[in-house]
Amino acid sequence: MRVTHEQNLLLPWVRCDELPELWRAARKAGFAKPNIKLLTDMIACPGGDFCSLANARSIPIAEAITERYQDLDELHDLGEIDLHISGCINSCGHHHSGHIGILGVDKDGKEWYQVSLGGSDGSTLSGPAVPGKAVGPSFSAAEVPEVIEAVLETYRQQREGGETFIATLRRVGAEPFKAAANGARFSATRTESAETSAA
């Protein structure tokens, strides 16, 4: 068995006639989830739960996004997306090369998360390797799933035909995605509500 850099387990040299039995055993053990290359097949470093260098935890962010995106039909509709999470700038989670990257940062001793868009790991799907660009100031942990949802909703609205997330982002440009991400800040919502009430 090998562990890939995408944090999946690869079992080489399985005989074709033994695949069904292997699949049944893997499913029983909770390992046969059909989400390869989809949003929840993400890379996340150990983060603050296990790493003494971390600025923020990665695992609760990965869990919150995974919990939100449980519906396999929805995941397949969103298609192939590289989501990478690092708990600090050492970048073990390769956040910079994710179509969507999340980087844990420390501000005044508290955990915050910078979200970047448009990164590429040089794969066939993503094209030449390039780092993603931050959408704006950092978000709180609670805001991150909302930000991801807002970005993906923008993709759904903007995509043409069977276009992938990264292809839509490149065709349309980052601005509508950035606007959606920044609009998902709780403080932005609160400010808007206050302004609406005052108006």
Residues lying near ligand SF4 in the complex (CB under 6 A) = 45-47, 51, 53-54, 86-88, 90-93
CB atoms within 10 A of CB 89: 13
Beta-ladder partners of 113: 104, 139
Identity of the residue, 113 or 155, whose beta carbon is nearer to ligand SF4 in the bound complex: 113
d(CA 157, CA 65): 20
| Residue closest to 124 by CA, chosen among 167, 71, 76, 67 | 167
Q: In the chain, what's the furthest Cα-to-Cα distance?
A: 69
Identity of the residue, 51 or 179, whose beta carbon is nearer to ligand SF4 in the bound complex: 51
Which residue carries 């890939």 as its tokens? 4
Identity of the residue, 103 or 166, whose beta carbon is nearer to ligand SF4 in the bound complex: 103
CB of 56 to ligand SF4, least distance (A): 8
CB of 89 to ligand SF4, least distance (A): 7
What residues contact 82, with CB distance under 8 A and at least 6 apart?
42, 43, 97, 98, 99, 100, 119, 121, 125, 126, 166
Identity of the residue, 113 or 177, whose beta carbon is nearer to ligand SF4 in the bound complex: 113
CB 53 within 8 A of CB 88: yes
CB of 97 to ligand SF4, least distance (A): 13
CB of 81 to ligand SF4, least distance (A): 20
d(CA 184, CA 191): 12
Identity of the residue, 62 or 147, whose beta carbon is nearer to ligand SF4 in the bound complex: 62
CB of 86 to ligand SF4, least distance (A): 4
Identity of the residue, 91 or 182, whose beta carbon is nearer to ligand SF4 in the bound complex: 91
CB of 186 to ligand SF4, least distance (A): 25
